[in-house]
Amino acid sequence: MMFVDGVWRAASERQSHPVVNPANGDVIDTIPLSTLDDCSAAVDAAVSAFDAWSQTAPRDRSDLLYEAWRSLTARTEELAELIVAENGKTMDDASAEVVYALDFLRWFAEEAVRIRGDYRRAPRGDKRIIVDRVPVGPALLITPWNYPAAMITRKLGPALAAGCTTIIKPALETPLTAREIVRTFDELGAPKGVINLVTPSNAGPAVDRMLETGEIRKLSFTGSTVVGRILLRASAEHVVKTSMELGGNAPFLVLESASIDEAVEGAIQAKLRNGGAACTAANRLYVHRSLVSEFADRLSARVSSFRVGSGDDRTSTVGALVSAAEVHKIRDLIARGKGQGARVVFESEIPEQGAFMNITVLKGIESDNVLTQQEIFGPVFPIVEFDDEEEAVRLANMTEYGLVAYVFGSEVDAMRVGHRLKVGMVGVNRGVVSDAAAPFGGVKESGIGREGSFEGLDEYLQVKYLAVSG
């Protein structure tokens, strides 16, 4: 599907793309693919609509976001089912995603009317300094498949609140949830050109085409660090303001003072939420040597009751991955990890058909094992032992990534360690950090900028200073 300048462009005229349910391989819908010219038209529409939209009353933008929040909230179940169908995650994961996703619409509805500037007298007394905060311009929003709703709302919410017009480019694996969100805004009367949706078959040239116009003034991207780098380079040409939510390689630390049971539950939450397909997923577990056997035993015992299965089967704890290719990637990583000494201590069953990955617990992992170096994106727990806090901090920081870390221990110990970790977010005795009201984002090669919270709105605003004599 494609939505440009307030018009849905039909599938029949164009090349179409099947959207597949990864749990069973069924084609659930087909969408038209956008051509490069469609992408140019989307830029034109976003540019034409910008002046009027950026000058609407903040209250009107806020009301639109509230109405979208209400309308989509009433359809939570339907939206969750769509996410299950195109992404493969479980109904529980999808329902949690919908709540999280819609929180961004509500939060930014609240924030749209609270954009503040500043007014002060210059020290020399010759002028007044007026600091305004204005929308940055037409924004291109590029999203991945792992959270088909939330990755869109956490960009679209602040963009609309700030007064930016938008072009959404969802992942081709999960465009149907994006379509529902855009359709809702359209039905609620979002002016034409304010929200556009494109689905090109090849993202690279399409995004280049849009950036080359020089009209896109904001690029917000969530995805891999590899693609993030390409987009940062492409953005340099016209000096586009960017927000980058890139890869993670989250360490999960279990200190000597930790409660093993709490740490096991935290690890399950941090790893198995969304089947491990989250940039915030605990990637590598560092456990104090005195606790490691018991931790691995209790973790294996807990996950042995979990079921990997189709997302629409309510008894499934872990759903399908988004594609068979993802499963192969993870199996290959585990094979390489085993070649470096990793031992499987638990492996769950999986259904015979579909893109499923076994819940796997591994021990015997040295600190340079490939399983600690790469983002796994599946239900795999590599456990590394450590002897003291210094070593734990050193190992946790030994990565080019810096999105999130989890620390379990007495609150004093966990906070002390948390302050020393080079990451954007720390879960202190918690396996989940995400919240629409909290600044989400990473340091180092995990990204630039923050999403959600007050900071999330700043990403779509720029400062404008007026010098007034007198």
Q: Which residues bind ligand ADP (CB under 6 A)?
A: 142-144, 169, 171-172, 203-204, 207, 223-224, 227, 230-231
Query: Which 3 state secondary structure label does DSSP give 221?
Result: strand
* Residue bearing tokens 């900028």: 449
Q: Give the shortest CB-247-to-ligand ADP separation in angstroms.
A: 8
H/E run at residue 260? helix 260-272
Q: What is the dihedral sign for C-alpha 153, 159, 164, 166? A: negative
Which residue in 6, 9, 5 sits closest to 44, CA to CA? 5
CB nearer to ligand ADP: give 64 or 83.
83
What is the Cα–Cα distance from 368 to 370, expressed in whole angstroms? 6
Which residue's CB is nearer to ligand ADP, number 164 or number 210? 210
Looking at the Cβ atoms of 65 and 357, the one nearer to ligand ADP is: 357
- Angle formed at CA 425 by CA 252 and CA 268, multiple of 5 degrees: 35
In the block, tokens 């199996």 appear at 331
The neighbour count for residue 467, using CB atoms within 10 Å, is 10
86, 173, 215, 245: the active-site residue: 245
Residues in CB range of 226: below 8 A, 6 or more apart: none
Q: Minimum distance from CB of 405 to ligand ADP (Å)? A: 21
Nearer to ligand ADP, 160 or 203 (CB): 203
> From CA 18, how far away is CA 173, in angstroms rounded?
9
CB of 93 to ligand ADP, least distance (A): 16
- Least distance to ligand ADP, CB of residue 181, Å: 15
State the minimum distance, in angstroms, from the CB of residue 407 to ligand ADP: 26
Of the pair 224, 259, the CB lying nearest ligand ADP is at 224
245 is catalytic: yes
The CA distances from residue 138 to 51, 155, 159, 272, 314, in Å, are 10, 13, 9, 37, 41
Active site residues: 245
